[in-house]
Amino acid sequence: MNRRASKQVRLWDRELMRLAAVRALVMLRPDFMWKNPVMFVVEIGTVLSLLMTVQKALDATSTPATLGYLIALDAWLIATILFANFAEALAEARGKAQADALRKTKQATTAFRRQSSGKFEPILSTELTLGDVVAVEAGQMIPADGEILEGVASVDESAITGESAPVIREAGGDRSGVTGGTRVLSDRIVIRVTVKPGESFLDQMIALVEGAKRKRTPNELALSIVLAAFTLIFLIVTATLWPLARYAENSTGIVGLGTDIPTLVALLVCLIPTTIGALLAAIGIAGMDRALRANIIAKSGKAVEVAGDVDTLLLDKTGTITMGNRRATRFLPAGAWSAVDVARLAAWASAADETPEGKSIVELWKQYRDSGDRGLSELGSSNGHDAITGMPAPETFRVVPFSAHTRMSGIDRLAGEPIRKGATDAMLAYVQRLGGTVPAGVREQIDAVASEGATPLVVAEGNRIAGIVVLEDILKPGIRERFERLRKMGLRTVMVTGDNPLTAQSIAQQAGVDDFIAEATPEAKLAYIRREQASGKLVAMMGDGTNDAPALAQADVGVAMNSGTQAAKEAGNMVDLDSDPTKLIEVVEVGKQLLMTRGALTTFSIANDMAKYFAIVPALFAGTLPGLKRLDFMQLTSPTSAILSAVIFNAIIIPCLIPIALKGVRYRPVGADALLRRNLLIWGLGGVITPFVGIKAIDWLLAALGLA
Ligand SMILES: Nc1ncnc2c1ncn2[C@@H]1O[C@H](COP(=O)(O)OP(=O)(O)OP(=O)(O)O)[C@@H](O)[C@H]1O
Ligand SMILES: [K+]
Ligand SMILES: [Mg+2]
């Protein structure tokens, strides 16, 4: 994939780290902190502990713990909060850097806005607003996101896509969308501005990665509530330890640790899920950031998340699974017609057809015409009265353009019968409606072409079928492997096409999709999505046309191509800047990676906390409750060292896991069950073992330094 170099933000970028460090301090403000209940509890505990430390400094008898121990404890508690804030701030800074790189494409430039007089006057592009109409000429920059009203132009979109080949954007079709910051290379277009200043999709996305305006997704919120519940439970557990320690003290006469508030705070902080509490926001932001890096603009964090849970993927055939430049390769005559007749009629039916299919038919016809007798004889001899000459004069016919509804196109002649070409079922129905019949052998011919995976177009003059144009399309390289990967991820892929069932089946088989819908109209797509959703499935689809808008809106994940119409872009919940239909696969992967990372670090965090319980509690009460001795297999140097080591471990595990939170755990396309097993094994078992090793090592280090 072509990505701009400027968009590769390094994980430990110095400047971003500095920004994040400053922001981590600012985020200590309680009005920020309370949004994260786990870390808010840590902050309150730290304040309590600090107060006790001050009391100790003023009155040495206030608690048996030493001042040095209390200060060390406070320092590490503060570090815990700062590390958590830093993780979130760094994720934000990276997301912003990413977004800024894209935003740079939107420099202020001169725009030529249409006045009420109809004249185009120059103004600053930043003054443009929704509904303004501007003209852009070759060499000029498109001043804002919009839709082409008039004209066709080649546009250099490399500033946003990194793709250097110019693309064609034109009025009327499904390629009418243009983006501010891209450059018109040829011709002149008139554009209607479709966004308010500061409200482009990119602006929306930037707001999503920036702290103040970020909304938590439903999943994130649900997990936050679970974590808050855990915190509450441990708060109760810790609080009940206090009378226990008190009782032990009274009955043994030995002053143990568990009765002073700073130690209880330390215990609480170790037991509550601080690791995931610290990284949760960063994981979500990093997911959005990864989407942006893949040139996908998501309109909500939820969209990215839902993408990770999608069950069914709807993909177009032409242009997504195949290369999309379907080319005419043969003319097959029916009955008494000759191939020359078919060629001529097909070309005439394509006289004003701007689709790749239409253009390729005219091209093939010209090739035959220009190669003279040899070409003609290869085609089969002409009937004589209808030699291939030229196109009908434009004033002699009316154009009937192709539409996805009729799946036909052609011309209505002023003198002479209408000429049509189109999808087989549509054409056979059309001819019969006009009282014609289907000549013997035509159906067999059609099926033979379709079975090879080519698209047969039926050509008719009036109600008489003249023959077939064979359109061939090539499968995209590597597409089979991509579907294989999707299947391993547990997704069902469905190819939707306006083409006939035989062609669809052949291509579906070659590409390895799970299912296909043939002869589909836009309504059929919408109906299919609704049916899937009714059976509890989440559906993703990609589209570009105004026709696709209802389906894009209905799909749980609707990705609109940036080149597509404004209607499509507004209906979907993501926009792909590259306008690459296979991007759906990446969208799903980004979503899955986000969900997996969150799952993995939650598992790790909770397993971790369980282990810490066994590491600290016995050490804590070893003096006062000898019965707990048997549990004390960690043999830490001293109770204070046990507490300190646990708090230090609890703090430094956060920065250690920041890279994983930001980069995401490595995604492997395996089924959901296998994934769950793997996750539990690695992150669950790892989460249990690491604290024992880590705490023991820190305890040893403290002892070696004489601090235990
Ligand atoms: N320019 C055209 N003129 C006449 N018929 C066409 C033209 N282009 C395509 N068709 C026929 O109409 C059918 C439907 O086209 P449509 O664009 O809706 O779907 P598709 O291109 O086959 O599949 P996809 O939905 O994957 O793009 C095509 O399969 C073809 O048979
Ligand atoms: K913890
Ligand atoms: Mg098509």
In this structure, of 361-365, 461-465, 554-558, 582-586, the range with the lowest mean pLDDT score is 582-586
The torsion angles phi and psi of 146, rounded to 5 degrees, stand at -170, -170
pLDDT at 514 over 90: yes
Identify the DSSP state of 398: E
Query: For residue 129, what is the domain's CATH number?
Result: 2.70.150.10
Domain-embedded: residue 400: yes
pLDDT at 246 over 50: yes
Nearest CA to ligand 1 atom 16: 498
Residues 60 and 140 in one domain: no
Q: Is residue 571 helix, strand or coil?
A: helix
CA 270 to centroid of ligand 2, rounded, Å: 4
Residues 336 and 419 in one domain: yes
CA 644 to centroid of ligand 2, rounded, Å: 13
Whether the CB of 497 sits within 6 Å of ligand 1: yes
Per-residue pLDDT at 356: 82
Is 10 exposed, middle or buried (CB count within 10 Å of its CB: 0-12, 13-18, 19+)?
A: exposed
Identify the DSSP state of 667: P
CA 388/CA 338 separation, integer angstroms = 12
Mean pLDDT over 541-565 rounds to: 86
Identify the DSSP state of 181: T
Mean pLDDT over 335-357 rounds to: 90
| 39 in a known ligand binding site | no
CA 537/CA 93 separation, integer angstroms = 35
Q: 603 pLDDT band (50/70/90 cuts)?
A: very high
| 49 in a known ligand binding site | no
Residues 440 and 486 in one domain: no
Whether the CB of 409 sits within 6 Å of ligand 1: yes
Question: For all residues of the chain together, what is the average pLDDT?
Answer: 87
Residues 316 and 362 in one domain: no
Whether the CB of 353 sits within 6 Å of ligand 1: yes
Domain-embedded: residue 300: no
End position of a domain, from candidates 442, 472, 502 = 472
Domain-embedded: residue 366: yes
| 421 in a known ligand binding site | yes
| 110 in a known ligand binding site | no
Per-residue pLDDT at 392: 85
Whether the CB of 402 sits within 6 Å of ligand 1: yes
Mean pLDDT over 517-531 rounds to: 89
Ligand closest to the CA atom of residue 314: 1
Q: How far is CA 575 from the centre of its chain?
A: 9
CA 318 to centroid of ligand 1, rounded, Å: 8
Over the stretch 364-415, which tens digit does the pLDDT of each residue have? 998 877 775 444 544 444 443 344 567 888 889 999 998 878 899 999 999 8
ipTM of predicted complex: 0.94
CA 696 to centroid of ligand 2, rounded, Å: 16
Between residues 19 and 489, the one the model is more confident about:
19
Nearest CA to ligand 1 atom 3: 409
CA 275 to centroid of ligand 2, rounded, Å: 6
Nearest CA to ligand 1 atom 12: 407
User: In this structure, are strands 515-517 and 492-496 parallel, antiparallel, or unpaired?
Assistant: parallel
Task: Please state, for a pLDDT cut of 90, what percent of the chain lies above it.
Answer: 51
Residues 398 and 511 in one domain: no
Whether the CB of 499 sits within 6 Å of ligand 1: yes
Per-residue pLDDT at 105: 65
Nearest CA to ligand 1 atom 30: 423
pLDDT at 1 over 50: no
pLDDT at 623 over 80: no
CA 211/CA 146 separation, integer angstroms = 29
CA 368/CA 620 separation, integer angstroms = 93
Residues 456 and 382 in one domain: yes
Residues 256 and 164 in one domain: no
Residues 288 and 391 in one domain: no
Q: Which residue has the tokens 């035959």?
A: 368
Cα-based angle 471, 476, 482 (whole degrees, multiple of 5): 140
Whether the CB of 317 sits within 6 Å of ligand 1: yes
Residue 421 Cα: closest atom of ligand 1: 4
Q: Among 174, 320, 499, 507, which residue has the most ligand 1 atoms within 8 Å of its CB, making it the best to mutate?
A: 499
Whether the CB of 318 sits within 6 Å of ligand 1: yes
Ligand closest to the CA atom of residue 403: 1
Per-residue pLDDT at 256: 58
Whether the CB of 360 sits within 6 Å of ligand 1: no
Residues 239 and 332 in one domain: no
End position of a domain, from candidates 472, 492, 511 = 472
In this structure, of 401-410, 531-540, 579-588, the range with the lowest mean pLDDT score is 579-588
Whether the CB of 355 sits within 6 Å of ligand 1: yes
Across 171-185, 422-436, 474-488, 521-535, the highest mean pLDDT is recorded for: 422-436
Give residue 179's identity as a one-letter amino acid code: T
Per-residue pLDDT at 4: 42
Residues 468 and 479 in one domain: no
Q: Given 316, 341, 499, 580, which residue is catalytic?
A: 316
Over the stretch 26-83, which tens digit does the pLDDT of each residue have? 999 999 899 899 999 999 999 999 999 999 999 988 777 889 999 999 999 999 999 9
Between residues 563 and 253, the one the model is more confident about:
563
Domain-embedded: residue 104: no
End position of a domain, from candidates 571, 599, 631 = 571
Q: How far is CA 87 from CA 208, 209, 649, 667, 691, in A?
A: 17, 14, 17, 21, 20
| 645 in a known ligand binding site | no
576 an active-site residue?
no
Ligand closest to the CA atom of residue 519: 1
Over the stretch 201-234, which tens digit does the pLDDT of each residue have? 777 777 777 766 678 888 899 999 999 999 999 8
pLDDT at 350 over 90: yes
Per-residue pLDDT at 619: 72
Over the stretch 664-687, which tens digit does the pLDDT of each residue have? 988 777 766 777 788 888 999 999
Domain-embedded: residue 333: yes
Cα-based angle 313, 318, 321 (whole degrees, multiple of 5): 50
CA 272/CA 234 separation, integer angstroms = 6
With CA atoms as reference, report the closest residue to 260 among 241, 282, 279.
Answer: 241
| 451 in a known ligand binding site | no
Domain-embedded: residue 485: yes
Domain-embedded: residue 576: no
**Number of domains present in the structure of the chain:** 4
Residues 597 and 665 in one domain: yes
Strands (E), 497-554: 515-517, 539-543
Query: For residue 522, what is the domain's CATH number?
Result: 3.40.50.1000
Whether the CB of 300 sits within 6 Å of ligand 1: no
Nearest CA to ligand 1 atom 21: 318
Mean pLDDT over 320-330 rounds to: 86
CA 466 to centroid of ligand 3, rounded, Å: 24
CA 661/CA 481 separation, integer angstroms = 28
CA 485 to centroid of ligand 3, rounded, Å: 25
Over the stretch 121-146, which tens digit does the pLDDT of each residue have? 999 888 889 999 999 999 999 988 89
Domain-embedded: residue 578: no
The range of the structural domain enclosing residue 543 comes to 312-322+475-571
CA 24 to centroid of ligand 3, rounded, Å: 51
Q: Which residues contact 131 (CB under 8 A, 6 or more apart)?
A: 192, 193
Q: How far is CA 51 from CA 55, 63, 321, 398, in A?
A: 6, 12, 66, 87
| 404 in a known ligand binding site | yes
Task: Please state, for a pLDDT cut of 70, what percent of the chain lies above it.
Answer: 91
What Rg value do the Cα atoms of the chain yield, rounded?
34
Residue 457 Cα: closest atom of ligand 1: 31
Per-residue pLDDT at 493: 92
Residue 357 Cα: closest atom of ligand 1: 1
Residues 213 and 361 in one domain: no
User: In this structure, are strands 177-178 and 327-333 parallel, antiparallel, or unpaired?
Assistant: unpaired
